[in-house]
Structure 1
Amino acid sequence: MAERMPDCPWTKREDYLRLVEALGADDVRWVGGCVRDAVTGHDSHDIDAATRHLPAAVIDRCGEAGIRTIPTGIDHGTVTAIFEDGNVEITTLRHDVATDGRRATISFSEEWKDDAARRDFTINALYAHPLTLEISDYFGGLDDLAANRVRFIGNPVTRIQEDHLRILRYFRFATRFADGWDDEATAACSELAPTLKGLSRERVGWELQNLLALPDPVATVAKMRELGVLQVVLPECGKHEVGKLGELVASERAAGIEPDAMRRIAAMLPAVPPVAETVSARLRFSRSQRDRLTCIARRDTRDVENPQALAYDVGVECAVDRLLIAGENPSNLLDWEVPKLPLKGGEIVARGVGKGPEVARILQAVEKRWVEEGFPPRERVETLLDEALAER
């Protein structure tokens, strides 16, 4: 008897069933991660479907059913069906005609196995009938899931040569689903690690973030460094920095704080702001991500002596990041709102100080003492102002 995908709430959604009806239940399958996650009891955030229909037919059929679509990757057969509570990416069955490690030239197919054969790992080549939920497993993916094993489909060297990003994807999926390492896979990843240099930096940065967002990627990062893979994508991370990542993961767990990829990347870099700038530019991080890495990199031991003063100076997020990396508990910052100094420059002018640098100097002196004293109320600030004026 064929194995069925477990019932999941998303498989019974009315809008998804309307999509199935529009495409025809025998011409569409749930595919990849959503099937794999259902089998392993994980929640699925991205729902993908495969279909025999060509992209133009998918658009027409969805249109007739009142389903809006966007041709997100139509050159490669992908159309996205837009739904209020979660979209579905629908891709026409295909097989590779030519590959160069970065992109593929594809041809459309009508065979489910052709489509499965071009996927990376056995556990990602699972197809489920949208109504019966019967699973089609062409390469032993279900057995691999049961055995906590991640294998490439076919020869690992060949599969990596088709798409070099599969090196990083292997380590991410092995971290999630495997108890150990596949020797053939790790040998191929090590041999072909230099090919990662030819990839789009955005793709490398995104995959690195996906890996580091997992609950505990420390052993994986250490393995990547052992195999020479990490040195290609993040040469700034040495053995010491891998150790800092392990300390950070332990700190996050002890404080009950969710994993954060950017915080973990910061821990894997030397505490040198120009290095954070360089890495951010190379991996095409956003402006906010770059600013965050740079802020974390300006850390030293004085940063953790007065957590709230630190948060007042650099912001709560950066302060929490620095504390965790330093092995300190940031719990007293998690629900803390940065206060505003209850004093304006105009009040100093009203006390007889002429407008100009002297006002700023007095304001800064009062603020410094206010922060040191733990942000006392307005009454104390007035006293601090009196003292500052008396010292002129």
Structure 2
Amino acid sequence: MTRLEGQDWLTSSATMAVMDALEAAGGPDCARFVGGCIRNALVGRPVDDIDIATRLRPADAMAALQAAGLKVVPTGLAHGTVTAVSERQPYEITTLRRDVETDGRRAVVAFTDDWAEDAARRDFRLNALYADRSGTIFDPTGQGVEDALAGRVVFVGDPARRIEEDYLRILRFFRFYAWYGRAEADSHGLAACAAHAEGLTRLSAERVSKELLKLLAAPDPRPAVSAMRHAGVLARLIPAVASSAAFEAMVDLSDDPVLRLSSLLPDEPPVVVTAAQALRLSRVMEGRLGDAALGPLDLATPHATLRAFTYRLGRQAVLDRLMRGLAEAGGQGDRSALAAVADWAVPRMPIGGRELARLGVEPGPETGLILKAFEDEWVAADFPATGHADRLSRLVAARHR
């Protein structure tokens, strides 16, 4: 039997306090670690979240944890989940379950005492792994450990059935492939995802965008995105461009999922903004994608022009467009333009209504017109630090001829 070794999270006092509390109520083997913490430990990845599966019913688990003096939050009682906080570390604890009814978006569950039943309702074999407090791993599907070590993402049981239970598993298939896959994508899983891609339209935009951004944040999401494209999944999420060259170059240039997403989208701001809104992306992300869709900026653009763009559009927009230009060039070119924008201290408009009032200009529409003319000249002259009074006097005189 495979056993975890050298895992600090497994033997920490915070973890032991949670396991002690559960076993005091349910006896030995009433609780096991499950899913991502086992998978990541096996493949040498950091363990950020510790999930525990238990035979205890939610109310009993809560009572046991509270009796041990631990804070408990009822984070998902309908699905059997509570969160214990031990030494400021959260532990998500879920009662063993089996699906009673599913509709592709959510499931009605019943609690069970059977570890195999709980494993059978999980998405992928490398996630259907359990370990007791000694680190001994239990692999109910018989292939989860092997999959994790080999970098295979394979559905538990029939891929079509797993997807029909929750269509988000299509995106999870590609997301886990992006993060953990080291071989060719499982052909049966790919075929099932392609056949059921229409089901993605039944999901909430928030769930879809969360998975998509997690996928794009992987160290190298290119194989997964390519597989999504060929399976007809990508086109159901975004108005993808035909060429993938810019995206493939961008992956080497930046780990920013928003920039990577931008490089997959066409240079059509209205189309891109509509797609971002359909995905319910944040206003900040929507703004970045819309600005980047104005088109790549050539790295050879004069720095004075870049400063003008930065003043008008904002630093992030110009940096994103320069990165798009660098990706379009295959990552080749002088990158001093990026530093010139990143390091430049954007100046404030050096004059305002007070200076105009001193020249006898009454507040009103005339003030705005003169200030706009001043700003345009100042920006075009590359933000000179002096000469403001002469420029302003000339503009005022010109308006009153």
- TM-score, scaled to structure 1: 0.88
Check the 8 A contact 2:14/2:89 in 1, yes or no: no
Q: Distance in 2 between matches of 1:85 and 1:388?
A: 63
Counterpart residue number, 1:338? 346
Counterpart residue number, 2:330? none
Q: Distance in 2 between matches of 1:152 and 1:52?
A: 24
Counterpart residue number, 1:155? 158
Counterpart residue number, 2:371? 363
Check the 8 A contact 2:297/2:324 in 1, yes or no: no
Q: What SS does the corresponding residue of 1:348 show, helix, strand or coil?
A: helix
Change (3 A) 1:350 1:157: same
Q: Distance in 1 between matches of 2:307 and 2:154?
A: 48
Q: Distance in 1 between matches of 2:266 and 2:344?
A: 29
Change (3 A) 1:339 1:39: farther
The answer on 1:45 being equivalent to 2:48 is yes
Counterpart residue number, 1:231? 235
- Out of 110, 114, 119, the residue aligned to residue 113 of structure 2 is 110
Counterpart residue number, 2:276? 280
Q: What SS does the corresponding residue of 1:239 show, helix, strand or coil?
A: coil
Q: Distance in 1 between matches of 2:53 and 2:236?
A: 34
- Which AA in structure 1 matches 2:248? G
Check the 8 A contact 1:6/1:39 in 2, yes or no: no
Change (3 A) 1:222 1:350: same
Shift of 1:332: 3.1
Shift of 1:74: 0.8
Q: What SS does the corresponding residue of 1:347 show, helix, strand or coil?
A: helix
Q: Distance in 1 between matches of 2:251 and 2:17?
A: 43
Counterpart residue number, 1:290? 286
Paired-residue identity, %: 40
Check the 8 A contact 1:27/1:53 in 2, yes or no: yes
Equivalence map 1:62-81=2 (5 Å): 62-81=65-84
Q: Distance in 1 between matches of 2:137 and 2:344?
A: 49
Equivalence map 1:137-176=2 (5 Å): 137-139=139-141, 140-176=143-179
Q: Distance in 2 between matches of 1:334 and 1:302?
A: 16
Question: What do residues 368-391 of structure 1 show as CA deviations (whole Å, max 9, x unaligned)?
Answer: 3433444443x3544544554565
Q: Distance in 2 between matches of 1:382 and 1:47?
A: 64
Q: What SS does the corresponding residue of 1:326 show, helix, strand or coil?
A: helix
Gap runs ≥5 in structure 1: 253-258
Shift of 1:169: 0.9
Q: What SS does the corresponding residue of 1:324 show, helix, strand or coil?
A: helix
Counterpart residue number, 2:85? 82
- Which AA in structure 1 matches 2:360? G
Counterpart residue number, 2:316? 317
- Which AA in structure 2 matches 1:351? L
- Out of 206, 209, 222, the residue aligned to residue 210 of structure 2 is 206
Counterpart residue number, 1:216? 220
Q: Distance in 1 between matches of 2:290 and 2:60?
A: 49
Q: Distance in 1 between matches of 2:359 and 2:384?
A: 21
Check the 8 A contact 2:18/2:86 in 1, yes or no: no
Q: What SS does the corresponding residue of 1:327 show, helix, strand or coil?
A: helix
Check the 8 A contact 1:251/1:325 in 2, yes or no: no
Q: What SS does the corresponding residue of 1:187 show, helix, strand or coil?
A: helix
Gap runs ≥5 in structure 2: 328-334
The answer on 1:184 being equivalent to 2:180 is no
